[in-house]
Amino acid sequence: MRQSALFWRTLRADPAGAELPGHKLLLRAGLAQRFTSGIYALTPLGLMAERRIEELVRQELRRAGAQEVRLPFVQPLDIWRRSGRAEEDLPELLRLKDRRGEDLALALTAEEAMTELVRRQGVAPSQLPLLLTQTGPKFRDELRPRGGLLRLREFTMQDAYSFDLDRDGMEASFAKVADAYRRVFRRLELAVREVTAANGMMGGTGALEFQLPLAAGEDEIVACSACGYLANREAAQRRPRGGMGSGDLALHPVKTPGAVSIAALATALGCGVAEILKAVFYDRAGTTVMALVLGDRQIDEGKLQAVVGGPLRPLSAQEASGRGLVIGYAGPVGLELTGPAVIVLDAEAQTVQSVVSGANREGWHLAGVRPGRDFAWQAAADIARVEPGDACPNCGGALALERSLELGHIFRLGTRYSERLGLVATGSDQVARPLWMGSYGIGISRLLAAVIERHHDERGIVWPPAAAPYAAHLLTLGGEAEVGALAGEIASSCEGCLLWDDRPVTAGVKFQDADLLGLPWRLTVSRRSLSLGGVELRRRRDGETRILPREEIAGLPAMLLAEDARRG
């Protein structure tokens, strides 16, 4: 490709609004243009890089036995209703109506659509286990898109779904796709870590994330250096502390005017914040949820949502008052609310001897409250955020928090979607049963951003061969006929592998743009290189430079094609 004809433009300065190095380089290297918050267009070079990554993922899934399909981007809302997720509070799901009044949704994820496809098509026992994949657009109405392509509203994603007759089959498929994902990340030279994860809105059990350690990442990973425990903070556990709570076991009211915060209450009573039972209130589909943790803990809403089985919304002060809650003084002892309610107690608080809680009367609290004796709960579970220094659930070592970026997420869905959408198959016993499913996803757009974020230096991008839009950048310096003739010969023999900078600009501009774009190899044809016997060959990764003799130029296409093969 001649660069003089390429639809491409670089920037000499960092663009306004871009803070992360990868985001700056994405725009400076002319790979993308921002249209609005979380929505970007890709230029030819940006699209080539994304398609390299897309094809790499496709190759590895084919090796795992996947068959490719295409699902609709605009989906009938009915399949989301049948799965039960249309009624959940999913602010990321963009809903719309067509001119006939039919309710539609833009693809947020593909569990419903892929399950419905298999149900409509039908599946025979001989076709199982079945692994289907697609790559296409998704739209999530994110509240805070950031980092260029790191978190978008519209993006390209690869989905894969496995279908098996039983749990053992699901586990085998899960392991097979996990291996395919590992190969993807190795080829992209991304040193990911596999961490325990929450299932979130997908449902099911036993989710696993592939996380890239990154200071600018939006996830927090809980890690134990002693035993290697790793988990997303939303799914992380910790070893409960012992001996929490005061020794006062006699339940009695105490007057606490104005003590509506944990800190103010601890000061007023002269106790530690961990001796207070904190109550936080949410709405779950019309039901009031009281979440209880010790006063020095914070609620992890992801964990709490998993316990109550659906999305949560914090109650406003006005809503809480309308349901009978006394703001600043609410507690579980003698709680009387208007409408249905459920109490969820953090597992750590379940065994405390005595704590302080709200008395459900303004200006008053209760001391000597003992869980189990003075109040009951509907569920006890780990619902508190893990904090640095908490004890590892495996070995008791101190836990630490590290920033990270999720690149892939795989789920064991079980029969949740097949049961709700009516997808069954008949086994050898001639009994029709819901299929066991797994769900697997990699954000292709995010992978592109992560590659740039991880692989760059002070001069620009340093593409790993598997993701580079071209294997090499050919530069011609000077207007000598011999220079142009040799460059044309190389470009012709290496067509498709090489970008030829034939622009009438200075050598400095060409070198600067070549470093900014960062293709794996740079070939320079100049009067100097010819005087030294050939073409200057420079590797972008480490700057290693040598003269490729004229007699070896014939082997250049094979070298670049081999580089192409590495890229997928």
- Give the integer Cα–Cα distance in Å for 543 and 39: 35
Q: What is the pTM of this model?
A: 0.87
Side chain identity at 9, as an amino acid letter? R
Residue 498 has what DSSP assignment?
A: E
- What superfamily would CATH give domain 15-208+408-453? Bira Bifunctional Protein; Domain 2 (3.30.930.10)
Cβ(33)–Cβ(9) under 8 Å? no
SS3 category, 260: coil
Hey, how many other C-beta atoms are within 10 angstroms of the C-beta on 251? Answer: 15
- Give the integer Cα–Cα distance in Å for 124 and 18: 51
Q: Of 202, 344, 364, 190, which is closest to residue 279 (Cα–Cα)?
A: 344
Residues 6+ positions from 149 with CB-CB distance below 8 Å: 23, 26, 32, 40, 155, 445, 446, 448, 449
SS3 category, 436: strand
Q: Of 362, 355, 373, 375, which is closest to residue 269 (Cα–Cα)?
A: 355
- Give the integer Cα–Cα distance in Å for 108 and 95: 10
Side chain identity at 393, as an amino acid letter? P
Q: Quick check: bond before 129 cis, omega within 30?
A: yes
- Give the integer Cα–Cα distance in Å for 164 and 436: 5
Hey, how many other C-beta atoms are within 10 angstroms of the C-beta on 451? Answer: 26
Sequence ranges of the domains in the chain: 15-208+408-453, 252-381, 472-567
Cβ(417)–Cβ(112) under 8 Å? yes
Cβ(248)–Cβ(368) under 8 Å? yes
Strand segments (E) across 297-435: 313-314, 341-346, 355-361, 364-369, 379-381, 399-414, 424-426, 432-434
Q: Which CATH class is domain 472-567?
A: alpha beta
- Give the integer Cα–Cα distance in Å for 111 and 166: 18
Q: Longest Cα pair distance anywhere in the chain, in angstroms?
A: 99
Cβ(249)–Cβ(353) under 8 Å? yes
Strand partners, 472: 498, 521
Q: Which structure tokens are listed for 538?
A: 């420079």
- Give the integer Cα–Cα distance in Å for 184 and 308: 36
Residue 60 has what DSSP assignment?
A: H
Question: Distance of CA 111 to CAs 75, 77, 157, 230, Å?
Answer: 12, 13, 13, 27
Q: Which structure tokens are listed for 234?
A: 């939303």
Dihedral angle, C-alpha 551, 553, 555, 558, nearest 10 °: 180
Q: Which structure tokens are listed for 202?
A: 């997908």
Helix axes 481-493, 556-567, angle to 10 degrees: 50
Cβ(262)–Cβ(432) under 8 Å? no
SS3 category, 524: strand
Q: Exposed, middle or buried, 482 (CB in 10 Å: 0-12/13-18/19+)?
A: exposed
Hey, how many other C-beta atoms are within 10 angstroms of the C-beta on 527? Answer: 13
Question: Strand 379-381 to strand 399-414: parallel, antiparallel, or no bridges (unpaired)?
Answer: unpaired
pLDDT at 563: 58
Within 422-476, residue ranges assigned H as helices are 444-454
SS3 category, 400: strand
Helix axes 444-454, 44-63, angle to 10 degrees: 110
SS3 category, 204: coil
Report the CATH architecture of 252-381: Alpha-Beta Complex (3.90)
- Give the integer Cα–Cα distance in Å for 397 and 476: 59
- Give the integer Cα–Cα distance in Å for 178 and 346: 33
- Give the integer Cα–Cα distance in Å for 189 and 176: 20
pLDDT (tens, 9 = 90+) of the chain, 568 residues, equals: 899 999 999 998 888 888 899 999 999 999 999 999 999 999 999 999 999 999 999 999 999 999 999 999 999 999 999 998 887 767 788 999 999 999 999 998 899 999 999 999 999 888 999 999 999 999 988 878 888 888 888 899 999 999 999 999 999 999 999 999 999 999 999 999 999 887 765 566 778 999 999 988 888 999 999 999 999 888 898 988 876 666 667 899 999 999 989 999 999 999 999 999 999 999 998 899 999 999 999 999 988 988 988 788 899 989 999 999 998 999 999 998 888 999 999 999 988 888 999 999 999 999 999 999 999 999 999 999 999 999 999 999 999 999 999 999 999 999 999 999 999 998 778 888 999 999 999 999 999 999 999 999 999 999 999 999 999 999 999 888 999 999 998 988 888 889 999 999 999 999 999 999 999 999 999 999 999 999 999 999 999 999 999 888 888 878 776 755 554 4
DSSP result, 91-143 = TT--EEE-TT--EEEE-S-SHHHHHHHHHHH---GGG-SEEEEEEEEEE---S
